[in-house]
Amino acid sequence: MNRFLSHLFCVLIAGTALTVQAQNFKVGVSRADITPMEPVRLGGYASRLKPTANVDTHIFAKALAIQDSTGATMLIITADTIGTPRAFNDELATRLEQELKIDRAHFLFCCSHSHSTPVIDGGLTDMYGLSDDEAKATKRYTRYFLDQAVVAAKAAVKDLEPAALSFGRSEAFFAGNRRQFGPKGVGFGVNPNGLVDRDVPVLRAVREDRSTKAILFGYACHCTTPGPNDEVSPDWAGYAEEELEHTYTGATALFITGCGADANPNPRGSLALAHAHGLQMAGAVARALSEPMLAVDGPIATAFDRVDLPIGQTPDKAYYEAKLQEKALATQRYAQRFLDRIARGEPLATSYPAPVQVLRFGNSLTLIALSGEVVVDYDYRLKRELPNERLWNAAYCNDVFAYVPSMRILTEGGYEADASIIYYGLPTRFAPAVEDTLINKVLELVKRTGGTVPPPPAKK
């Protein structure tokens, strides 16, 4: 650890603000280990071609249960995972409703999107080309992961005790816009002039004895620091959690990814850099905790719905036949799958039912949870559309089904708009109306939970 950063972190901890406030909530926390117990393929990179049993750091599913004075209970589960598809989230939600009586709108599942965690069954359909044995191992791991998430959820609910909640913000600076413009269009790189979201939102739960019970924090950036190595790792987000839990004895730290689908950590390329970014993030969270924080009140209000995000005009058979001739194996798998569907006479999807969720704490805080890999434009637009709300915008929640590009990114093109659909298995890119469709659904749910949505500007 860099000595200067270590000293700075300790100074910030020493100055941590502990505002005395009423214990208006009950809070419970728990964790369950989700580290694979057999060799599995790691997710996020098509270049990985074999399973691994190597583990740098254990990975976890963590649960935060929050109950208000009316008895309404909200459950947030965070996990060190590349992302979970619709079937995983639907089964998990069903089990929580059956076993814990947690209504779907009161349950939020958040993925860290670490690219050093196992492939999940049903996710990134055409990226990996798993062998039969690898596919079976992936199914076993996915079942284990889901079961462990339920274990964590149940333990968090049993752990409920009086606590006060407070909210603050800080900033971190290692996220960099990755959409680099060049002669051939938009590629991967570092775009110093591109949009990023520097915010680090922090929610803190404090016990009656004034000790910290839980720290929930977020940042809008990919967890891709090590690159396509062969070691299981939670990346910088997990290392930040580890550092915070070491410093705040008795606390559980949990991470929620923001709208950072077009942001990468910078620099990157090693586990050492992942640890360094984790330390920077822990320092940013500590800065928020060292300042006076806003007391969070109740009651809890939640809303959950799905919105049909429009997909563009369906390509014809010739499009997929041309794709079948390309060199990339993932592209060939994608093309063959759609040609098979066309041969069977199956209609291709014209929209995707994306989950949208809003969690509202009285008039103190509104957490907007978007599904998919959401680009930063949505964060900026929601903050413009909802100036009277204290917002925490999250992504990679409840279903990681595709990149969700903005109108701007659809116009510019690039991976987030086009190439990524091959890995996720959409028939083609999203339609230009996708941005307004998603934003309008968010505004509807904010209203439903009692939020303030200004009227649209009058047409000239």
Q: What is the pLDDT of residues 120-138, one digit of tens each?
A: 999 987 899 999 999 999 9
Q: Could you tell me the sign of the dihedral formed by the alpha carbons of 421, 424, 428, 430, in that order? A: negative
On whether residue 447 sits in a domain, the answer given is no
pLDDT of residue 23: 63
Q: What is the pLDDT of residues 195-248, one digit of tens each?
A: 999 999 999 999 999 999 999 999 999 999 999 999 999 999 999 999 999 999
pLDDT band per the 50, 70, 90 thresholds, residue 15: very low
On whether residue 201 sits in a domain, the answer given is yes
On whether residue 47 sits in a domain, the answer given is yes
On whether residue 377 sits in a domain, the answer given is no
Task: Single out the residue of 281, 317, 295, 309 nearest to residue 407, CA to CA.
Answer: 309
Q: What is the pLDDT of residues 360-400, one digit of tens each?
A: 999 999 999 999 999 999 999 999 999 999 999 999 999 99
Tell me the pTM.
0.94
What is the residue range of 268's domain? 3-302
432: preceding bond cis by omega (within 30 degrees): no
Q: How big is the chain by its Cα radius of gyration, in Å? A: 21
**Cα 200 from Cα 21, distance rounded (Å):** 23
The proportion of the chain whose per-residue pLDDT surpasses 90, expressed as a percent, equals 92
Residue 427 has pLDDT above 70, yes or no: yes
Contact criterion met (CB below 8 Å) for 202 and 289: yes
* Count of C-beta atoms within a 10 Å radius of residue 84: 28
Q: List Cβ neighbours of 36 (8 Å cut-off, separation of 6 or more).
A: 53, 55, 118, 141, 144, 232
Q: What is the mean pLDDT of residues 294-299?
A: 96
pLDDT of residue 348: 96
Q: What is the mean pLDDT of residues 431-447?
A: 98
Total count of domains within the chain: 1
Helix axes 434-448, 377-385, angle to 10 degrees: 40
* CA separation, residue 374 to residues 120, 282, 405, 416, 425 (Å): 19, 24, 7, 9, 17
Write the DSSP symbol of residue 304: E
On whether residue 373 sits in a domain, the answer given is no
* CA separation, residue 105 to residues 233, 300, 358 (Å): 31, 11, 8
**Cα 24 from Cα 66, distance rounded (Å):** 10
On whether residue 401 sits in a domain, the answer given is no
pLDDT of residue 460: 59
Residue 285 has pLDDT above 50, yes or no: yes
Q: What is the pLDDT of residues 252-278, one digit of tens each?
A: 999 999 999 999 999 999 999 999 999
Q: Could you tell me the sign of the dihedral formed by the alpha carbons of 309, 310, 314, 319, in that order? A: negative
On whether residue 355 sits in a domain, the answer given is no
On whether residue 341 sits in a domain, the answer given is no
pLDDT of residue 21: 54
pLDDT band per the 50, 70, 90 thresholds, residue 456: confident
Q: 460 vs 188, which has greater pLDDT?
A: 188
Taking all residues of the chain, what is their mean pLDDT, rounded to a whole number?
A: 94
pLDDT of residue 125: 75
